[in-house]
Structure 1
């Protein structure tokens, strides 16, 4: 009897350990690392992922024999506000094709093969892998059926500039987003030009003048 109880106890501890470890959040290293995990559905002989920043090209990843390619002047941007973009040069049968558009990237990537591709698909839908705020908007955990992505989104470019973070539930089987949880705003930036800047409103707010008792009209008795 005691042996059975001990076995049940050990099994429970093992199960809880597996469950806890599966719920542990992991951080996306950076956008380069995420894009480098692309597994193309399109059959190609080789491909290279490039990052262009301020006109300078950098090879992020080369798969197979590096194809001959020409620098491109447009691409897909994963860092809003930064003058940079990514593009892919792929080769098949000696012909080089360039992937510079979000739709082309989606077709190149095809079916969701891993959590990085799930994050890329979410970015293509308007979300953000926020490298500056990894703890709230660039991490994930997973179980047998789903990926759970914590990502950001620019929700206002007006005054104030805002970013909100969400938890997306993505099916491993279909790649579809089945649930989106709004976790609230994590960045709210007011500039000097913002008329609704709380600090400016506080400075502009004047105290109402108090009545001076010396200036009160004197009441006379009749």
Structure 2
């Protein structure tokens, strides 16, 4: 009986170890590396991912041989920036085409092939990979059936400015989001113009007793 029990216990621990490793969270790499993992689903002869920063083009990835293309003056960005953007130039059916917005990017990707494409799809739907807070809004893990993405979302541009983080469950087969878990606010910023700024409210409360004390002294 002992000879049978020992191997069984070892197998259980090995199974638990593999399960734990399968669910270990990994931080997403840079936005550029995420875009590097795009796998287009349509029949495309060749394509190039171009990064434009301050008017200068840099070819990030080339697939299927280099073709002549026209530099673009606008594009998409998964993490908005006024000074830079990406675009894709691709050849299909003997014609050059360009992806310069998020909807075009979604169509270009087609079916979700990997966790990076899942993150891109969620970004197009309004979520974001927060590169400053990757531990709570820029990581993922996966199992055989799903991708589990921790991403952020800008939930208020008013006072206070705030971001909320979510866990998104995405089915690997269909690419559909089966669950969205709200993990709460992780950034809440007030400025001096905010009427509901806690610091201003505290200052006002401190000033009230002083006014009351002055009035009492005058009565005496």
TM-score normalised over the length of structure 1: 0.91
For the residue of structure 1 that corresponds to 2:208, the secondary structure is coil
Deviation per CA, 1:33-76, whole angstroms, max 9, x where unpaired? 11111100111111111122232222211112122112212212
Match in the other structure for 1:20: 20
Match in the other structure for 1:193: 193
| 2:70 counterpart of 1:70 | yes
Q: How far is the alpha carbon of 1:82 from its aligned partner?
A: 4.2
Deviation per CA, 1:78-137, whole angstroms, max 9, x where unpaired? 113543221100012442110112221111111111111111111111100111111111
| 2:52 counterpart of 1:52 | yes
**Runs of 5+ consecutive residues of structure 2 not aligned to the other structure:** none
Deviation per CA, 1:178-202, whole angstroms, max 9, x where unpaired? 0000111111112233232222333
How far apart in 2 are the matches of 1:82 and 1:163? 20
Query: Which structure 2 residues correspond to residues 200-211 of structure 1 after superposition, within 5 A?
Result: 200-205=200-205, 206-208=207-209, 209-210=212-213
Contact 2:78–2:120 at 8 Å: present in 1 too?
A: no
Range 51-60 or range 21-30, more displaced = 51-60
Q: How far is the alpha carbon of 1:30 from its aligned partner?
A: 0.9
Query: Which structure 2 residues correspond to residues 32-51 of structure 1 after superposition, within 5 A?
Result: 32-51=32-51
Larger CA Rg, structure 1 vs 2:
1
How far apart in 2 are the matches of 1:117 and 1:40? 10
Range 173-182 or range 42-51, more displaced = 42-51
Match in the other structure for 1:165: 165
For the residue of structure 2 that corresponds to 1:207, the secondary structure is helix
| 2:175 counterpart of 1:175 | yes
Match in the other structure for 2:131: 131
Match in the other structure for 1:102: 102
Match in the other structure for 2:119: 119
Tell me how many residue pairs correspond in the alignment: 216
**Runs of 5+ consecutive residues of structure 1 not aligned to the other structure:** 217-222
Contact 2:156–2:163 at 8 Å: present in 1 too?
A: yes
Range 109-118 or range 44-53, more displaced = 44-53
TM-score normalised over the length of structure 2: 0.92
